[in-house]
Amino acid sequence: MIPLPTLQAVRTTPEGLLWEPSERWVRGRKGDVTVVDSRHPVLVWEPDVPVPLYVFPRAEVREDLLRPAKNPPTGTHTGSQIFYDLDVDGELLENAAWTFPATDLADHIAFEWFRRVGRGLDHWYEEEEEIFIHPRDPHKRVDAIPSSRHVQVSVDGTVVADTHRPVLLFETGLPTRYYVPREDVRLDLFEPTDHRTGCPYKGTAEYWSWRGEADVPSNLVWSYPDPLPAAGPIKGLIAFYNEAVDITVDGERVERPVTHFTKTLSVQSRT
């Protein structure tokens, strides 16, 4: 179960979903067509999924664009859902929307986000700000704080970063990430890749992989060249997966954490 603060507003369904109403004005578009325009969205957390999603009252959804799914998937979301295909200007998006079986969420519809799963609505807005990948969690903080700690990073025994001017990024539910100025990183030991990821708190990241022969995961190193304003201090700095490298802070070795990234990194190291 996702660790959330005990708040009266957060409710639980028998299916294990957590949910709470949101006061944000949320809109979802496919191209130029507004499919969702909601002033009464509900945030939902599925079991064992670290990020939330929105569901919307049917009255605030363009149901005229929804069709019963021709090829509904199984096991993609909690419970026995009803899936819908989305028909926008003659383009059919399969399984773009669904409903949860929970009584608490009856008459609400959820949508996939294109930039998260590769299908669904491609533009989302909270008020007038466009958001990406998934809704931002109201119970989560992301703080990027400049520091003077002495941070060293090693890969397979080789020191690849050494700095006294890191930016420490504290993100709820994740280990502290140590962002290091490029001048203090041996980037010559890594090679850039085509891999990119998006984060609704930080922006779009670019990646590097280790050039050596060590058994380490690919895309081990990343940077945000143009972060979102809230994460501005990490602009252009370099970070490493604590889960797969050795980090020493002020002479004290940082224990490698186990996170939801650990399994993915382990699979990458075997491919």
CATH code at 105? 2.170.150.40
- Do residue 50 and residue 90 come from a single domain? yes
The Cα–Cα gap between 229 and 259 comes to: 26
Is residue 142's pLDDT more than 80?
Answer: yes
Shared domain check, 254 and 164: yes
pLDDT of residue 188: 96
Q: Is residue 42 part of a domain?
A: yes
Q: What is the pLDDT of residue 3?
A: 44
- Record the pTM: 0.81
pLDDT band for position 10 (50/70/90)?
Answer: confident
Last residue of a domain, one of 131, 152, 176: 131
> Is 155 found in the same domain as 127?
no
Q: How far is CA 38 from CA 54, 91, 125, 128, 184, in A?
A: 10, 23, 10, 13, 47
pLDDT confidence of residue 5: 40
Instruction: Report d(CA 263, CA 1) in Å as an integer.
Output: 18
* 1 belongs to a structural domain: no
Res. 7: pLDDT tops 50: no
Do residues 211 and 191 touch, judged by C-beta distance below 8 A?
yes
Output 75 or 65, whichever has higher pLDDT: 65
Separation of alpha carbons 42 and 241, rounded Å:
33
Count of structural domains, the chain: 2
Identify whether 32 is part of a domain: yes
Do 224 and 180 have their domain in common? yes
Residue 107 has pLDDT above 80, yes or no: yes
- Averaged pLDDT for residues 3-25: 79
Within this chain, do residues 125 and 148 fall inside the same structural domain, yes or no?
A: no
Domain that holds residue 48: 11-131
Q: What is the pLDDT of residue 73?
A: 87
Asked whether the predicted pLDDT for residue 150 surpasses 50, the reply is yes
C-alpha triplet 250, 251, 255: angle, nearest 5°: 95
pLDDT value at residue 223: 98
* Alpha-carbon gap, residue 200 to 204, rounded angstroms: 9
How far is it, in rounded angstroms, from Cα 165 to Cα 160? 15
Q: Answer yes or no: is 238 within a domain.
A: yes
Is the pLDDT at 8 greater than 70? The verdict is no
Task: Indicate if 154 and 265 belong to the same structural domain.
Answer: yes
Say whether both 106 and 17 belong to one domain: yes
| Residue 245 belongs to some domain of the structure | yes
pLDDT higher than 60, residue 229: yes
User: Is 223 within the bounds of a domain?
Assistant: yes
Q: Is residue 23 part of a domain?
A: yes
Secondary structure percentages of the chain, helix, strand, coil, to 5: 15, 45, 45
Tell me, what's the pLDDT at 217?
93
pLDDT at 266: 62
pLDDT for position 269:
52
Instruction: Indicate if 166 and 256 belong to the same structural domain.
Output: yes
Q: Which of 43-52, 71-80, 235-244 has the lowest mean pLDDT?
A: 71-80
Do 85 and 148 reside in the same domain of the chain?
no
pLDDT at residue 268, as a whole number: 59
Which of 84, 105, 131 is at the close of a domain? 131
State whether 264 and 151 are in the same domain.
yes
Same domain, 121 and 15: yes
For residues 20 and 55, membership in a common domain is answered with yes
**Residue 52 in contact with residue 77, Cβ under 8 Å?**
no
**Mean predicted lDDT score pLDDT of the chain:** 91
Q: Is the pLDDT of residue 157 over 90?
A: yes
Please compute the mean of the pLDDT values over residues 234-256 and round it to a whole number.
97
At 15-56, the pLDDT tens digits run 899 999 999 999 999 999 999 999 999 999 999 888 899 999
* Last residue within a domain, chosen from 99, 131, 163: 131
Q: Identify whether 253 is part of a domain.
A: yes
As to burial, measured by CB atoms within 10 angstroms (0-12 exposed, 13-18 middle, 19+ buried), residue 42 is buried
